[in-house]
Amino acid sequence: MARLTSNEIEQYREDGYVIYRKPLFSQEKLDRLTAIFEEHLREKGDKLSDELDTPHFRDERLLEFLLGDEALDLVEGLIGPDIVLWSSHFICKEPYKGRITPWHEDSAYWNGRFDKYDNIVTIWLALDRSSRENGCMRVIPGTHRNGFSEYEAVDKTYNTFHAQIKNIDESQAVYFELERGECSLHDSRIIHGATANASPYRRCGYTMRYISADTKIHLEKNPGWRFWLARGRNLAGNPCENV
């Protein structure tokens, strides 16, 4: 059973993130997840490879990973024992042409979808080695206490989003360099982003997003969305699918 230590939980509370330096899944399970991703990548059609969003909606094989104890045991240490699976996303930056992920807060893009944002956590699992060279994720520590900064427009041809946060001091950035199978966990409100992939090495990750089950989901702002009660009690009474 994998659990975060008290020091790791304290770091998450203070800095808004923690890096888990152990394999999240067994090698066999990680290989199966990677094989599923490769299927989705082949079938993506004209979608860019960094846009494979909510793949578990159409491929429930992924629920084995999203609802597995390996992930939920880590998440429970951060948001408690009552957990709702909200989202997942394959994010793949191709060699030499992966786009920039501009500085942003996830919470700002989700504004209005929930009644609060203090207990939303994302696991970023490295399916490929993730380094500064190939555009690993980076964060500004301690910026998770706001979640709704001022933005300015950017060119979406070269960026995965249409806007970025103004006036970021990039000298404060911490880079999440991960070996395949390792993961990071971050608060939905933290300022984060990634440079473009200028290397010959692909950088793929799988994000798994969870909310505390006492968070009220505003269904009118989540049309067509699917939620699963991953663990514990459905405290807010949100409509959730059976596991």
**What is the domain-level CATH number for residue 121?**
2.60.120.620
Domain that residue 48 falls in: 6-231
Q: Kindly state whether residue 239 falls inside one of the protein's structural domains.
A: no
| Strand partners for 228 | 85, 241
User: How would residue 157 be classed by pLDDT, with cut points 50, 70 and 90?
Assistant: confident
What is the three-class DSSP state of 31? helix
- Please count the structural domains in the chain: 1
Q: Kindly state whether residue 240 falls inside one of the protein's structural domains.
A: no
Percent of the chain whose predicted confidence (pLDDT) is above 70: 97
Q: Kindly state whether residue 122 falls inside one of the protein's structural domains.
A: yes
Q: Kindly state whether residue 1 falls inside one of the protein's structural domains.
A: no
Q: 219-226 — which CB contacts under 8 Å span 24+ positions?
A: 221/112, 221/113, 222/113, 225/86, 226/57
pLDDT in tens, 70-111: 999 999 999 999 999 999 999 988 898 778 999 999 999 999
pLDDT in tens, 26-67: 999 999 999 999 999 988 876 666 668 999 999 999 999 999
pLDDT higher than 80, residue 138: yes
Q: Kindly state whether residue 243 falls inside one of the protein's structural domains.
A: no
**Residue found under tokens 């070269």:** 158
Q: Kindly state whether residue 241 falls inside one of the protein's structural domains.
A: no
- Taking alpha carbons only, the member of 121, 147, 132, 91 closest to residue 17 is 121
The two tokens of residue 72 are 């939920």
pLDDT value of position 122: 98
The two tokens of residue 66 are 């999203």
CA 237 remoteness from chain centre: 24
Q: Kindly state whether residue 199 falls inside one of the protein's structural domains.
A: yes
Least confident interval from 44-58, 123-137, 190-204: 44-58
